[in-house]
Chain A
Amino acid sequence: MSQTELARSAPPAPKGPVEEFTTLAPSPRELMKRRAKSHIGFIVGMSIIVFFCIVAIFAPFLAPHDPYDQNLSARLVDPVWGAKGTWSNIFGTDAFGRDVLSRLMYGARLSLMIGFTAAFIAGVIGVTLGIVGGYFGGKVDAVIVYLINVKLALPVILVALSIASISGGSILVLILVLGLLTWDRYAVVVRSLTQQFRDQEFVLSSLAAGASHARIIFREILPNLTNQIIVVASLDMAIIILIEAALSFLGLGVRPPTPSWGLMVAEARAVMFFKPHLIMVPGAAIFLLVIAINMAGDGIRDVTSPEGRG
């Protein structure tokens, strides 16, 4: 008896076609989770950001000293790895005898707060203009493109400097200025993406179902832009943190004695050849946060982008 015959005499197995929907591909959320788990840049970047956020939020509980407390008898103490370092001032003290680690922790609050809020303001302005221009096109779009071009022609640092020097360095002014000066990137990206989505058949379907333009913008187009907006926002935040540090360094941002990383670098200038750690420590913090934000932003793009078309 041949093998075929043997098998054929066996009880008839599932005859006919199996149900079509037995297996489903993993959902976009599941895919995202999987990709996030294997994306090293995303994990590292996100962990650093989360670490900085925790430090910033819980600074009052975590900081070993009051960041404003001057102790003139313990000025310019070496950090713990220095010759005369102690564990009570891990990063040493500055020229006024203030604890560098505590100032760094409070400085993180300021940097992150300014970064988040300014990037948010810029995002709201840029996304609104970009989506309106991209969706409606025509004359509305022409005006918005003109605005973007004007904005692109403005030198950000110089304008920020001049406004800060006129109005004085309040944090609120700083946030508004930075927000109003960095929306162009959002607008450019969102506008071109919206133009692509506007002609997709799912937007046409929604129009044909009688949806209003506002509904299409908020329900159909905006959800498709979120990951790109997050990526732009991360880049924007990194830039804002750098500009804030630069402005504070130049004495036109945050006013002393408020703890700000840029200000800490500026204040350490006088003693940078004797006590290099006073520049290196806040400098390293700025570097670490900015690079972490960029890594996370890149990661978000990689983790979220290749879905949709599967």
Chain B
Amino acid sequence: MNMAAQMKDAEAPVLEVRDLTRVFSIGKSWLKEGKPLRAVDGVSLTVKRGEVLAIVGESGCGKTTLSRLMLGLQQPSGGDIRVLGEPLVGVDRKAFARRVQPVFQDPYSSLNPRKTIGQIVGDPLIIHNVGAPSERLARVETVMEQVGLPRRLVNSYPSQMSGGQRQRVAIARALVMKPEVLICDEPTSALDVSVQAQILNLLQDLREELNLTYIFISHDLSVVEYMADYVAVMYLGRFVEVGPAKQVLNTPKHPYTQALLDSILTPDAHLGLPQLDLRAGFPDPLNPPPGCRFHPRCVKAMDVCSKSTPKMVRIDDTDVECHLYPAKD
């Protein structure tokens, strides 16, 4: 499961997550115990400096909870998050903030409409008590330039800007504290196509320039293919397939990954709508199916799938959790 292990150089991973679990209690009141909802259920991942790991999955699969856990906005029920080997679970939120920063989906709600761009971007510096006001302003201007925003916008308000410009502001705010990891949660899905391309290009440039590490959460596999080095496919709180982007997206192993890939609509006017090998609807996460959680929707489901949970198996460089690939033991 450790993707870095196969890499030849021995550089320590920037972000390391082990067996991360988050259980919510649904319908809890003062009188009765709630029903457990395992939003994130034993997720492990490792990302090295300068790499992009994309997490794909449908809504309700737990990818948002996972990102909140990795941002320290929620406390995990179990497991471990390390940045540069330093454990972050249970420590002060501020320590987390210096290492991991978010870029959210909606640039309209992610910027406080009452603050100027300078205040928004510079806020983390004030929170962490960095430098004198003039140094802070200099840093804000540097970051704004890095994301392609002219300095004179320092005193303007978000409502004066377009969606793409706002997303640049959000990226500048995330970068101002020089974090190691950026967690981009659907950073372009609220934007127009032409603006999406600008923001994706910017993220790629910044990654090269600043040697950043991204966790890139998206449901758009074409975007993921463009951005990612590694891809993790998430289904009902678990990673069902993790591996190098090329392998996962070109030779998918898990039937769910295959279905996701089939549903990509490339703009080719000579192809009709694809046929999906996928049954029924998304299951109720409160009552996950027994055995392999994907089996009710799987066209390749066998008897064993409803009985036992498959183990993670490594094929080539990809880890898969599926009974089609039995563990050798």
Contact = CB atoms under 8 A, between A and B. Distances in A.
B123 interface: yes
Given A210-B127, A308-B113, A308-B159, 14 more contacts: A21-B150, A21-B165, A25-B161, A28-B160, A201-B105, A204-B104, A204-B110, A205-B170, A206-B127, A208-B100, A209-B127, A215-B127, A224-B112, A307-B159
A12 interface: no
Given A27-B156, A201-B109, A223-B112, A209 B104 contact: no
B153 A21 contact: yes
A20 B165 CA distance: 10
- A interface bracket (residues with beta carbon within 8 Å of B): 20 to 34
24 contacts: A20-B165, A24-B153, A27-B156, A28-B159, A28-B160, A200-B109, A201-B104, A201-B106, A201-B110, A204-B73, A205-B102, A208-B71, A208-B100, A208-B102, A209-B123, A209-B177, A210-B95, A210-B96, A224-B113, A308-B158, A309-B113, A309-B159, A310-B159, A310-B160
A17 to B, nearest CB: 11
Contact of B72 (A21, A27, A208, A310): A208
Given A206-B123, A209-B173, A223 B104 contact: no
B98 interface: yes
Contact of B97 (A21, A208, A223): A208
Interface in B138-167: 149-150, 153, 156-161, 165
- B interface bracket (residues with beta carbon within 8 Å of A): 35 or more
A139 B242 CA distance: 41
Contacts of B100: 208
B192 to A, nearest CB: 14
B8 interface: no
B93 A27 contact: no
A211 interface: yes
B205 to A, nearest CB: 16
Contacts of A220: 112
B262 to A, nearest CB: 32
Residue of A27, A201, A206, A215 with highest tally of chain B CB at under 10 A: A201
B35 interface: no
Contacts of B124: 209-210
A232 to B, nearest CB: 18
B104 A24 contact: no
Contacts of B109: 200-202
B128 interface: yes
B24 interface: no
Interface in B191-213: none
B94 interface: yes
Nearest to A206: B123
A16 interface: no
Contacts of A309: 108, 113, 159
A93 B128 CA distance: 66
A26 interface: yes
Contacts of B111: 202
B48 to A, nearest CB: 22
Contacts of B160: 24-28, 310
A208 B73 CA distance: 6
Contact of A211 (B72, B102, B127): B127
A301 B114 CA distance: 16
A207 interface: yes
B93 A207 contact: yes
Interface in B70-126: 71-73, 92-98, 100-102, 104-106, 108-115, 120, 123-124
Nearest to B111: A202
B159 A207 contact: no
Contacts of A215: 127
Nearest to B115: A223
Contact of A28 (B106, B108, B113): B113
A219 B165 CA distance: 23
A202 B96 contact: no
Nearest to A19: B150
A33 B173 CA distance: 29
Nearest to B103: A205
